[in-house]
Amino acid sequence: MKMSKLFVQTLREFPNDAEAISHKLLVRAGYIKKLTSGIYSYLPLMQRVIAKVSKIIREEMNAAGAQELLMPFVQPSEVWEKSGRWEVYGKELARFSDRHGNKMCLAPTHEEVITSVVSGTFTSYKQLPVNLYQIQTKFRDEIRPRFGLLRGREFIMKDAYSFHTSQESLDEEYENMARAYKRIFERCGLETKMVQSDSGAIGGSVSHEFMVLTSTQTGENDVFYCEECDYSANSNHAVSILNVEETDGAKFGYSEEKLVDTPNVKTIEDLAKFLKIDSNCILKAVLYVADSKPVLVMIRGDREVEETKLLNAVGALEIRPATSDEAYEFLGCEAGYLSFLGIDKNKVKVIFDKSAKGMKNFVVGPNEPNKHLVGYNFKEEYDFIDVALVKEGDLCPRCKKPLKVTRGIEVGNIFQLGTKYSKPMNATYTDENGQDKPFIMGCYGIGVTRTAAAAIERYHDDFGIVWPKEIAPYHVDVVPVNTEDKEQMEVALKIYNKLLDEGIEVVIDDRSDRAGVKFKDSELIGFPYRITVGKTISEGLVEFKDRKTGEVEKLGYDEVVEKCKELLLN
Ligand code: ATP
Ligand code: MG
């Protein structure tokens, strides 16, 4: 490919609406162009990256025994009504009516359609298990599309679905997919951590996420992990062991229950200072609104609520912190003094976080302004459940060593669905005894475009993208320093053509721009190797530069071709 013809325009400046480094670099280096919020055109360079990631996925999925198909992107409401998700999916599901008034939607995922595809086609236990996958555009009207391709509204996903006659068979396929995923990401040049993303509860669903660990802040999730054992989980699901011995208010002289004045002291920090007590001896009340109903969380003062855990605990679709007006409306008290004490439990659901278990002689709001109760002890046995965010340094739930935290990007996940879709959709097979049974299902997703963006988050420097060579749009950039110089152009073209003949993906920068401009673009776009053809041709030498290490070697014309072959064709 000649650079003068490549459909790309690099920009001098970063786009100002971009926060994530991958977003900035993808726009600046000419990989994507925004059409509207969360919706991008994938320009030729990007399309090549997508094709490479997709090829790796296809090869590994096929090798793992899955079969590729392609399902409709536009879907009728009927299948969604059958599964029960038409009503509950929320605003991410883009719904519309066709010209006849039929309710339709743009596919955010394909559990419903795949279930209806398999149902009635594979009807006997003898035909199972089967695993079907596709690589396709999805649409989700994300509440906050951001970070470019990391969280778009339109994006490309690989989604696979497996159908089984037994839990054992599903377990086997789940392991098989976990292995395939590891290989896929490895081949994309990405190290991933497989983290638990279910609650680990017995009888609960089993699922794992594949996280690319990043140093950049754009990792959307915190991943907690233990260096001693192999425990790791994302913040939505991580659990830890808390030290409860320290949380006795008696240590601070509060061993007797008393109502004390705390005028205008509303935050935990101020309260701890005012009463000269540690915040972990205060029981904090945080009010939420879950599907428009109030939920009051009682949690230890030094802990924060993990909203996904809370959402799951109350079984709501949407959850958000209450405003101070709502606090007044639901509890009749201003925020800062809220409490589970003295409220109507029929009106407000109260959740006690596990961190509160074992607290003694603690401080708690009385649900009346400008006062707090000190030296309080629970007077009833409550059901304590975990809705708290884990903190770095908390103890590992398995081996009790301190947990560490890092940022991560979820590039894929695997899920045991069981009969969640097959039962309501009445999708069955016939077993050995001629009985109809619902399929036992698994599903397995990979964000294709997100994986490419995650690779940039992981591999970049001040000058631009540093693609792993497996998914780089091109491998080699041949740069003649002076295109006016006939001899330089001749040598550059010779090397370029040789590389092409060898099947190496190569660009020649035949633009008449200054060499400095071409070098900058080469680094910004992230070609793994650059061959510079300049003055040293008088000695029969060209310069070979490795983008990742920055190492430069002077090599002869044939030598440089051999070097590329060695690095790229094996
Ligand atoms: P998230 O928690 O990030 O919203 P999810 O649980 O909704 O992800 P799935 O529905 O399981 O994700 O989708 C499978 C994969 O698709 C994810 O692992 C992720 O890599 C990718 N993906 C999901 N949503 C987006 C998005 N808005 N933009 C880009 N990729 C996405
Ligand atoms: Mg999502």
Q: Is the CB of 30 under 6 A from ligand 1?
A: no
| pTM given for the model | 0.86
Give the distance, in angstroms, between the CA of residue 378 and the centroid of all CA atoms in the same chain: 40
How far apart CA 122 and CA 430 sit, in angstroms, is 9
Lowest mean pLDDT among 210-224, 359-373, 399-413, 451-465: 210-224
Q: Is 410 in the pocket of ligand 1 (CB under 6 A)?
A: yes
Which domains does the chain possess? 57-143+154-238+405-448 (3.30.930.10), 249-385 (3.90.960.10), 476-568 (3.40.50.800)
CA-based torsion, 22, 23, 28, 29: positive or negative: positive
Is the CB–ligand 1 distance for residue 38 below 6 Å?
no
User: For 263-270, what is the mean pLDDT?
Assistant: 94
Mean pLDDT of the chain: 94
Cis peptide before 129 (omega within 30 of 0): yes
Task: Tell how far the Cα of 241 is from the centroid of ligand 1, in angstroms.
Answer: 30
- Say what the pLDDT of residue 202 is: 45
Is 160 a pocket residue for ligand 1 (Cβ < 6 Å)? Answer: no
- For ligand 1, say whether the CB of 140 is within 6 Å of any of its atoms: yes
For 26, the token pair is 């993808």
pLDDT at residue 199 is higher than 90: no
- Cα–Cα distance, 507 to 475 (Å, whole number): 8
Distance 70 CA to ligand 2 centre (A): 22
Regarding the beta carbon of 447 and ligand 1, being less than 6 Å apart is answered yes
Which of 358, 300, 298, 289 lies closest to 326 in space, CA to CA?
289
Percent composition of the chain: helix, strand, coil (DSSP 3-state, to 5): 30, 30, 40
Q: What pLDDT, on a 0 to 100 scale, did the predictor assign at position 245?
A: 65
Give the pair of three-digit tokens for residue 274.
């005012």
Residue nearest to atom 26 of ligand 1 (CA): 151
Instruction: Give the pLDDT confidence score for residue 218 in this predicted structure.
Output: 67
Between 42-46, 158-162, 266-270, 404-408, the lowest mean confidence (pLDDT) is in 404-408
Closest ligand (CA of 140): 1
Cβ distance 106 to 134 under 8 Å? no
**What residue's CA is closest to ligand 1, atom 21?**
447
CA of 142 from ligand 2 middle (Å) equals 8
**Tally: H helices and E strands in the chain:** 13, 31
Tell me the Cα Rg of the chain. Answer: 29
C-alpha–C-alpha distance, residues 31 and 432, integer Å: 54
Please tell me the least confidently modeled range out of 150-164, 201-215, 264-278.
Answer: 201-215
What is the pLDDT, as a whole number, of residue 517? 96
pLDDT at 336 over 60: yes
Q: How far apart are CA 570 and CA 518, in angstroms?
A: 29
In DSSP notation, 438-471 reads EPEEEEEEEEHHHHHHHHHHHSEETTEE---GGG
Nearest CA to ligand 1 atom 2: 410
Residue 342 is predicted with a pLDDT of 86
192-206, 244-258, 314-328, 439-453: least confident range: 192-206
Tokens 């601070």 map to which residue? 252
How large is the average pLDDT for residues 417-436? 96
Which ligand is closest in space to the CA of residue 448? 1
Predicted pLDDT at 247: 84
Per the listing, tokens 């071409």 go with 518
